[in-house]
Structure 1
Amino acid sequence: MTKFLISFPAPAMTVPAEDLPAVGEAARQVIRAAKAAGVYVFGGGINGAVAPVRVAPDGSVSHGTYPQTRELDGGFCVLELPSREDALLWSARIAAACRCAQELREFGDDPES
C-alpha cells in the first residue's frame, strides 16, 4: 500500500460564503467514507493564523519559510491506497466535495515509517 497526499491551496476554493457549510459537510462525508474504507491516515488544514518558523540542525529557530513554500496553505489528507488509480478516484471524490481541483502526490516508500 502506498500513501498519497491529496491537497489544494486555499485560494483554489472559490465558493460563495453561503455554500461553505455544504462544502464542509460534503468534504467530511468523503473523509468518513475513507475512514470506513480503512484508507484514511490523517488530514486537516494549514493554520494560516500561526506563522511558520524554520528550525535549524542546532535547534535555533528563525521566523519565516523557505521561499518556495511561502504560499503553503489550504487543506490536505493522506490516504493509504493500493494503487495510483485508487488515489485518482479518491482525489476526484474530494475535488467534487470541495468544488476545486486537488493535487495528488505520492509519498516515497520508507519501510520504517
Structure 2
Amino acid sequence: MDHIPEEDWPLVGEVSHEVVREAKAAGVWIFGGGVRRQQSTVVATDGTITIGPVPEQKAVIGGFSIIEVSSHEEALAWAARIAAGCRCAQEVREIMFDPES
C-alpha cells in the first residue's frame, strides 16, 4: 500500500472502517483483518516446519475480508466498496462451504 501518502492513512482507515460498519449492519460481515508482510511458515503433513518464501514485492496481500452474500454479483459490489475505502484493488474468491466448520 505504498501508493497511499502517509498523511492520508487516518482518512483511509476511517473510510475503510466505515465500510466494515456498513457490512456489519447489513449482516454480511463475517471477519477481516490485516496481514503482516512476512515470510510464511509451512508445516508439512509429517510435522516438518519450513520457513516459506519471502512475499513478492509486486503483489502483496495486505488484508482480507470474509463476507457472506447470496451472489457473486453482491460480492463484487461489496469488493468495490472495500476497494474504494482502502484505495486498493480487491481480489474476490469464493470459499467452499463446509457444514462441519
Residues 33 and 65, structure 2, Cα contact 8 Å, conserved in 1: yes
Gaps of 5+ in 1: 1-9
Q: Of the two structures, which has the highest relative contact order with CA contacts closer than 8 Å and spacing of 6 or more?
A: 1
Instruction: Indicate whether 1:74 and 2:59 are aligned.
Output: no
Return the TM-score normalized by structure 1. Answer: 0.76
Tell me the CA shift for residue 53 of structure 1: 0.8
- Equivalent of 1:41 in 18, 30, 35: 30
Tell me the CA shift for residue 28 of structure 1: 0.5
Return the TM-score normalized by structure 2. Answer: 0.84
Q: Tell me the equivalent position of 1:7.
A: none
Tell me the CA shift for residue 110 of structure 1: 2.7
Gaps of 5+ in 2: none
Structure holding more strand per residue: 1
- Equivalent of 1:94 in 77, 82, 93: 82
Residues 39 and 55, structure 2, Cα contact 8 Å, conserved in 1: no
Q: Tell me the equivalent position of 1:17.
A: 6
Q: Could you tell me how far apart the structure 2 residues matched to 1:84 and 1:61 are?
A: 37
RMSD (Å) for aligned C-alpha atoms: 1.8
Q: Which runs of 4+ in 1 moved over 2 A?
A: 69-73, 108-113
Task: Count residues in correspondence.
Answer: 98
Tell me the CA shift for residue 111 of structure 1: 3.2
Q: Report sequence identity in percent.
A: 52
Tell me the CA shift for residue 58 of structure 1: 1.1
Q: Aligned letter for 1:17? A: E
